[in-house]
Chains A and B, each alone.
Chain A
Amino acid sequence: DAGVTQSPTHLIKTRGQQVTLRCSPKSGHDTVSWYQQALGQGPQFIFQYYEEEERQRGNFPDRFSGHQFPNYSSELNVNALLLGDSALYLCASSPLGTASYEQYFGPGTRLTVT
C-alpha cells in the first residue's frame, strides 16, 4: 500500500517565478492538506481540499493556490515566488469519516528560492 507521495523532492526557483508541487494521497484517502514548514519551525497550515473544493484555508496570501483532481491527487501552486517561500512543503492525506481525522504525511518537497 503506497503511502502519500510528493513530487518533486527538491526544487530551486528564482524570485518572481511560479512553481507547482504535486501530491498523491494514501489509498482510500479523499482529503488532502498542504503545510509549509520553514527551517526550525513547526508546520503552518496552507489549505485543505475535499471533494475538489478548498474547504479550509490558513493565513497565506492568494499567491498560494491549489487544486484537487477527481482521483483525489492535489497540486499546490505558488506564484511570484519570494525568498521567504523557501521551505519544506508537506502534503498530508486523511480519510474523512473517521473519528480521528489522522493525517498521514508525504516526504515533502524542499523548495529553495534564490
Chain B
Amino acid sequence: ELKVEQNPLFLSMQEGKNYTIYCNYSTTSDRLYWYRQDPGKSLESLFVLLSNGAVKQEGRLMASLDTKARLSTLHITAAVHDLSATYFCAVDSNYQLIWGAGTKLIIKP
C-alpha cells in the first residue's frame, strides 16, 4: 500500500525566510503533484513532476523530485504572507492520487 508522508505538518515562519517542505512516499511512482489549499477552498495545482530529477519553479516556490529516494521537496524562498496556506503533495498510484496529510504554512509579516 502506497503511503505518503509530509513534514513538517505545521510551519510558522517570518516573511523573508527560506524553508523546505518534504514529501516521502513508500513505493515507486513516476508522478508527483503539489497542490495548495486556502482555508475553506478547493485545491489549486502548483506543480506536476513527472521524472527523476525534475525541477520546477514558479515565483518563490520550487519543487523537485528524486524518484530513487522517493522524495520530493517544495522550497520556499523569501516567504511572503500571501503564501500562507496548506500545501499537499500527492503521488499517482494506478490513476488514483494518494495524498500526504498536508503542511499548514503560516507566514508572519
The answer on A and B forming one complex is: yes
Residues of chain A at the chain B interface (Cβ within 8 Å): 33, 35, 41-45, 48, 55-56, 58, 90, 92, 99-108
Contact A101 B96 (CB under 8 A): no
B92 touches A (CB below 8 Å): yes
Knowing A45-B97, A45-B98, A48-B95, say if A102 contacts B42 (CB, 8 Å).
no
Knowing A102-B33, A102-B48, say if A90 contacts B97 (CB, 8 Å).
no
Contact A55 B95 (CB under 8 A): yes
Known: A45-B96, A56-B94. 10 other contacts (CB 8 A): A42-B99, A42-B102, A43-B90, A90-B42, A90-B43, A100-B48, A102-B45, A103-B45, A104-B45, A106-B42
Contact A44 B99 (CB under 8 A): yes
Residues of chain B at the chain A interface (Cβ within 8 Å): 31, 33, 35, 41-45, 48, 50, 88, 90, 92, 94-102
Query: Among the listed A41, A90, A105, which residue makes an inter-chain contact with B101, where contact means beta carbons less than 8 Å apart?
Result: A41
Contact A43 B97 (CB under 8 A): yes
Q: Within the assembled complex, what's the spacing in Å between the Cα atoms of A71 and B17? A: 48
Contact B96 A58 (CB under 8 A): yes
Residue among A42, A44, A90, A106 having the largest count of chain B Cβ atoms under 10 Å: A42
Chain B residues, CB < 8 A from A42: 88, 90, 99-102
| Minimum distance in angstroms from A49 CB to a CB of chain B | 11
Q: Within the assembled complex, what's the spacing in Å between the Cα atoms of A67 and B102? A: 29
| Minimum distance in angstroms from B36 CB to a CB of chain A | 11
| Minimum distance in angstroms from A36 CB to a CB of chain B | 11
Q: Within the assembled complex, what's the spacing in Å between the Cα atoms of A56 and B45? A: 22
| Minimum distance in angstroms from A55 CB to a CB of chain B | 6
